[in-house]
Structure 1
Amino acid sequence: MKQFFPFFSFLLGVILMGPYAHAQDGYPNRVVKIVVPFAAGGSTDLLARSLAERLGENWKQAVIIENRAGAAGSIGADAVAKSKPDGYTLLLGTVTTHAVAQTLYPKLPYNAQRDFVPVTEMVTIPQLLSVHPSLPVHSVQDLVAYAKSKPGELAYNGSVGATPHMSMELLAARAGIKMLPVPYKGSGPAMNDLMAGQLQTSFDVIMTTLPHMQAGRLRVLAVTSAKRSPLLPQIPTIAESGYPGYESDVWFGLFAPAGTSPGIVNKIGADVRTVLTEPKMRQKLEAAGFSIVASTPNEFAVRVKDDIQKWRKVIVDANIKVEQ
């Protein structure tokens, strides 16, 4: 019997993997839907539509985008979590919908790790720390010193749980400063108030901030990524500015509902990574300020787990609460 054992082991593997292999080979054979849990027109939407166009061409199947905004992304995310796990309904999730929301919202209708399968972390986009030009600061160290001289007085875009808020809370915890968060319904109104001097400082993504920096309406002090942005190589990172290890990128990744077969997950991930690394796509996304990641499902799962722990500490230590 020993001489037949390898054959029986191989046969068992073929039987067990049969459904996965079949699902992978036949996928997709109908329309695939990517849910974007935010309103149309933002950076998440731009990324999703660029991806959908190329995936549809490669798959010879329509890939449609459905915007389901509301509740900081949790409405769209919950809809995908409750969808059939067949690979035909996917979520374009973010650091907000998964890493932050898991701790910030006690009544969150889904569990970021239990109810989803990570497919791939597609891209990240850094934020820029900016101040109104009237402030007598020209570096992160200057801002920290100025904030310490006016505890709780410097106002910034602090919509609870949004990335500018979390990024500032992370810096405040590291630097030992107290800032004044002011909630806004969107980046546009906050940016207008920053340029008008109603806010003194704030974080926002590079694509939103860059035109105002170039026009002299804002002064950019630092970038939140671990490395300098290729679009602004002269701007230091916060980590370089006296706070080693500081990083607060906005990441965007693709998720499938829990229970989706490994064969389908791996196929989607591989095909998305192929699209993201195409020269034209890379050029398009990098010109918009994105950095290509294109991770494996396992790598993305680690990223989600680590970021949940990271932002849980910030939220708990700062006693951040949100009404539900």
Structure 2
Amino acid sequence: MKLPDRDDHRAARRAALKALACGAAAGLSGTAWAQTAGKWVAAAPIRMTVPYAAGGGTDVLARLVSSQIGNALGQPIVVENRPGVNGILGTNLVYGAHPDGQTLLFAAADFISIAPHVYKNAVKFDPAQFVPVALIAKMGFVLASRADNSAKDLDEVIARARAKEITYAHWGPGSTSQMAMELLRSRVPGFQALPVPYGGAAPVLNAVMAGDVEYGFVPTPLAMASQSKLKLYAIASPQRFAGIKDVPTLAEKGYAVDADTWFGVLAPPRTPAAAVEALRVQMVAAAADPRVSARMAEMGYTATHIAPENFGAFIQTEYARWGGVVRAAHIQAVD
């Protein structure tokens, strides 16, 4: 029997190393496949863009949800504020971002459902092309005046608006405060109202409380916080809000007005389905957590749940609905 020489040993060693390398490659390939086919995990901190300034209601809501999720997606969610052009600037940036699941938009009806109909030159995105992730909350608007306004109820407000033009505040063409009033005007024959624009919801509230304008549709959080200084006539929502439960809905008074604004999370076009599903699971769980829902209610919001497959259709319905209001009211902005 021939004993193996040095060349045989070298050949055997090469074969063993080759087999080991193949086995390692197979193992690495299997790991990569498992991550692709299984749970998506973020490779870096996820950027959640809020296209408004820090400290506002939308910003606080986005931070509440992102802090609840924590590191459940493998990385933290970092809220970034990109204000400008009524939310349009930051929305444009997210729309053009790399679709890898690492960049998200904390969206609102103002700049997704309404702004494209009003600021046609500034908008560089197609709302229908965003990938819907999760609907988070809704917020209502309350018809309010200075506390010492002599109109004791909604009937008297409407009687005055029919008799002569009233003034009301809003925060720019196509803002939800203006849209709420336009919806009410469309339901009341002979309703006359002169719009007076301000720079935001807080200036609108101050103008109403000071009596610089007679009325305004004030966001529910501000109405709750300032109700001792305001007279609240009705809320433009399908149901009463628990935080101001004595305030009736416009529908209860015979005027079918739903001016609720929505908040949700969207991803750039072509974001992979695996990333969207992983994000959706965490977003829905965060919004449904009783502690988060309770905190939202304290802030003036209503936690809102919708089947994932219906969120995209909801966005399209809202876009069409508000487009009809804009056209009927002939609302335009120079942009």
Scaled by the length of structure 2, what TM-score is found?
A: 0.85
CA RMSD of aligned residues (A): 1.8
Which structure 2 residues correspond to residues 1-324 of structure 1 after superposition, within 5 A?
22=36, 25-107=39-121, 108-114=123-129, 116-151=130-165, 153-157=166-170, 159-176=172-189, 177-213=191-227, 215=228, 217-244=229-256, 246-324=257-335
Scaled by the length of structure 1, what TM-score is found?
A: 0.88
Structure 1's unaligned 5+ residue stretches are: 1-17
Asked if the contact 1:34–1:89 (Cα under 8 Å) also holds between the matched residues in 2, the reply is yes
SS in 1 for 2:237: coil
Q: Structure 1 residues 79 and 243, CA, compared in 2 at 3 Å: closer, same or farther? A: same
Query: Quick check: 195-204 or 278-287, which moved more?
Result: 278-287
Once residues 26 and 210 of structure 1 are traced to their aligned partners in structure 2, the CA distance between those partners, rounded to angstroms, is 40
- The amino acid across from 1:117 in the alignment is V
Asked if the contact 1:167–1:248 (Cα under 8 Å) also holds between the matched residues in 2, the reply is yes
Q: Structure 1 residues 303 and 20, CA, compared in 2 at 3 Å: closer, same or farther? A: farther
Once residues 273 and 187 of structure 2 are traced to their aligned partners in structure 1, the CA distance between those partners, rounded to angstroms, is 40
Asked if the contact 1:269–1:296 (Cα under 8 Å) also holds between the matched residues in 2, the reply is no
Question: Sequence identity of aligned pairs in percent?
Answer: 27
Paired position in structure 2 for 1:12: none
Q: Structure 1 residues 24 and 40, CA, compared in 2 at 3 Å: closer, same or farther? A: farther
Shift of 1:24: 5.6
Once residues 158 and 66 of structure 1 are traced to their aligned partners in structure 2, the CA distance between those partners, rounded to angstroms, is 23
Once residues 269 and 77 of structure 2 are traced to their aligned partners in structure 1, the CA distance between those partners, rounded to angstroms, is 20
Shift of 1:234: 1.4
Shift of 1:120: 1.1
Q: Structure 1 residues 76 and 20, CA, compared in 2 at 3 Å: closer, same or farther? A: farther
Once residues 307 and 141 of structure 1 are traced to their aligned partners in structure 2, the CA distance between those partners, rounded to angstroms, is 29
Asked if the contact 2:46–2:102 (Cα under 8 Å) also holds between the matched residues in 1, the reply is yes
- The amino acid across from 2:302 in the alignment is S
Asked if the contact 2:149–2:231 (Cα under 8 Å) also holds between the matched residues in 1, the reply is no
SS in 2 for 1:57: coil
How many residue pairs are counted as aligned between the two chains?
302
Asked if the contact 1:127–1:203 (Cα under 8 Å) also holds between the matched residues in 2, the reply is yes
Deviations 1:298-320 (A, max 9, x none): 22212211111111111111111
Q: Structure 1 residues 144 and 19, CA, compared in 2 at 3 Å: closer, same or farther? A: farther
